[in-house]
């Protein structure tokens, strides 16, 4: 049983101001796995004060000093990787191969990619008699999600630290264990006191306090579009910068010239790998009607490799919580009620898995883009297949969504794929199931958010621009 009831503020583990606690459940067993404290506005105030004090010196450190610190953090993190992977499995149900692999080790990818980008990043640019300088924005509030708890933290942490900012962080109260170990890692690595501060809590109190705090200069939020709207509202009176990475309902266009086995199997793996709990998951497969029968058969066979079970050994684990399970079940039932055809899966728990928040991997066919299951983000292992007659129709369906986080194109002709990809209104387009690239900007159009993460493109989210006219009088002369 984990007992994580202290907060990491100003380089010390301190008692919270509130006596409120929350039980954290293991989604595979439905049993309590640990306990955290729920912070208050007072705890956030303490963390902000510590971060503000630390910013005065951290912002003045050299780039080389900050890079050396992040290198040290990566070294210590690798030593704690097993513990973090175990925590991720326990808190959000990711199977061992995923928790100990991509869920944990993506942090190293983000840290090292950001370090490489920082080495060549220009903070100063001269334009005639003037100089333009990029300076750290200040104290940053992080509100991170439960579905990729370390990946989403690292995507914010690396650019913030390297640009000279300081941090007040609220992880998800549903999956807070890995963030606690991450804070221990930073302490062991010798990150100066106050540069990173951790306050556990819920959205309505701690999340709102971070978003609205007058001494927090920007807030970076990853989560649902609904919650992102609330963060933006809370931040508005203080006119702070708000970066948001929100929901998605990503289209996956299978073109007629695609290798159907590779296209369908590969994209299905991307969807199923985290029990469907990924914001960029290709949840809408837009397939040519002329090849629909074959595509459905390939998808049905491929999903058999994603049988859910005990996280220690299975390829797919449970979803994160009872409320998430109920939401997914409601949407599956809605799909049936609206006339979609269940190819495999459907409502209820898989046979033999009555304990744990397990969902049957589900595929719907005969879906139209106006159905609820094609409009709403399900955030579970559910694929909807929508047919098209012409390529223009496929692109129209792909863009007919309020979201714009990611898009996928499958084609045997790379020029053909590029042409279609250029017409999708989304921020992160994947052609032929390519691997994740931490060096290119990640973020969305429309209601999928604003701003970008990953690599050098994330730096600008944490920087202010200062123009200094007359800085170079000789140039003016």
Active site residues: 245, 279
Distance CA 359, CA 328 (A): 8
Distance CA 315, CA 308 (A): 7
- Alpha-helical runs (H) found in 31-176: 41-58, 63-92, 96-98, 104-119, 149-163
Any bridge partners for residue 142, and if so which? 169, 220
Any bridge partners for residue 36, and if so which? 4, 22
Any bridge partners for residue 365, and if so which? 341
- Tokens read off for 325: 């399970």
> For the stretch 226-244, what's the b/e string if a residue is b when 16 or more beta carbons lie within 10 angstroms of its beta carbon?
ebbebbeebbeeeebbbbb
Any bridge partners for residue 32, and if so which? 25
How many residues appear in the chain?
Answer: 477
Strands 382-388 and 218-222, sheet pairing:
unpaired
Helix 177-189 vs helix 149-163: angle between axes, to the nearest 10 degrees?
Answer: 30
Half-sphere exposure of 40 (CA within 13 A, CB side): 8
Are the beta carbons of 250 and 356 closer than 8 angstroms?
A: no
Distance CA 267, CA 281 (A): 8
Q: Which of 404, 384, 357 is nearest to 27 (CA)?
A: 357
Any bridge partners for residue 126, and if so which? 131
Q: Which of 301, 248, 256, 292 is nearest to 410 (CA)?
A: 256
**Cα maximum dimension of the chain:** 81
Residue carrying structure tokens 């994330």: 458
Distance CA 439, CA 445 (A): 19
Q: Which of 349, 348, 351, 387 is nearest to 369 (CA)?
A: 387
Helix 149-163 vs helix 104-119: angle between axes, to the nearest 10 degrees?
Answer: 20
Number of C-beta neighbours around residue 12 at 10 A: 12
Distance CA 108, CA 465 (A): 29
Distance CA 208, CA 221 (A): 11
Are the beta carbons of 365 and 341 closer than 8 angstroms?
A: yes
- Tokens read off for 40: 């208050």
């Amino acid at each position: 049983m984990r007992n994580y009831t202290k907060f990491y503020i100003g380089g010390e583990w301190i008692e919270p101001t509130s006596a409120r606690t929350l039980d954290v459940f293991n989604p595979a067993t439905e049993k309590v796995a640990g306990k955290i404290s729920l912070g208050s506005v007072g705890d956030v105030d303490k963390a902000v004060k510590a971060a503000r004090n630390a910013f005065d010196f951290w912002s003045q450190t050299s780039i080389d000093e900050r890079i050396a610190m992040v290198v040290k953090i990566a070294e210590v993190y690798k030593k704690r990787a097993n513990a973090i992977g175990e925590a991720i499995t326990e808190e959000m149900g990711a199977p061992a191969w995923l928790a100990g692999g991509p869920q944990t080790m993506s942090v190293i990818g983000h840290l090292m990619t950001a370090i490489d980008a920082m080495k060549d990043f220009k903070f100063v640019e001269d334009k005639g008699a003037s100089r333009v300088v990029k300076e750290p924005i200040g104290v940053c509030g992080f509100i991170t999600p439960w579905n990729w708890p370390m990946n989403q933290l690292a995507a914010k942490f690396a650019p913030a630290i390297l640009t000279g900012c300081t941090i007040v962080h609220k992880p998800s109260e549903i999956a807070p264990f890995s963030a606690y170990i991450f804070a221990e890692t930073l302490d062991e690595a010798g990150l100066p006191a106050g540069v990173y501060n951790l306050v556990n809590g819920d959205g309505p109190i701690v999340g709102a306090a971070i978003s609205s705090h007058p001494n927090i200069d920007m807030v970076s939020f990853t989560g649902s579009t609904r919650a992102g709207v609330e963060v933006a509202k809370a931040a508005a009176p203080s006119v702070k910068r708000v970066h948001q990475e929100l929901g998605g309902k990503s289209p996956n266009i299978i073109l007629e010239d695609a290798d159907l086995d590779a296209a369908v199997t590969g994209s299905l793996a991307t969807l199923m790998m985290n029990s469907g709990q990924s914001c960029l998951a290709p949840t809408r497969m837009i397939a040519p009607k002329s090849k629909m029968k074959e595509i459905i058969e390939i998808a049905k066979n491929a999903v058999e490799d994603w049988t859910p079970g005990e996280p220690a050994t299975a390829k797919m684990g449970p979803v994160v919580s009872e409320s998430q399970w109920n939401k997914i079940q409601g949407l599956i039932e809605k799909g049936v009620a609206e006339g979609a055809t269940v190819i495999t899966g459907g409502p209820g728990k898989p046979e033999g898995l009555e304990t744990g928040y397990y969902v049957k991997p589900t595929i719907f066919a005969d879906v139209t883009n106006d159905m609820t299951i094609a409009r709403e983000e399900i955030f579970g292992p559910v694929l909807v297949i929508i047919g098209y007659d012409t390529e223009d129709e496929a692109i129209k369906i792909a863009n007919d969504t309020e979201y714009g986080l990611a898009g996928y194109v499958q084609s045997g002709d790379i020029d053909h794929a590029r042409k279609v990809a250029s017409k999708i209104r989304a921020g992160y387009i994947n052609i032929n199931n390519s691997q994740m690239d931490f060096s290119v900007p990640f973020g969305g159009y429309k209601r999928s958010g604003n701003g970008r993460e990953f690599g050098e493109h994330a730096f600008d989210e944490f920087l202010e621009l200062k123009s200094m006219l007359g800085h170079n009088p000789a140039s003016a002369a």
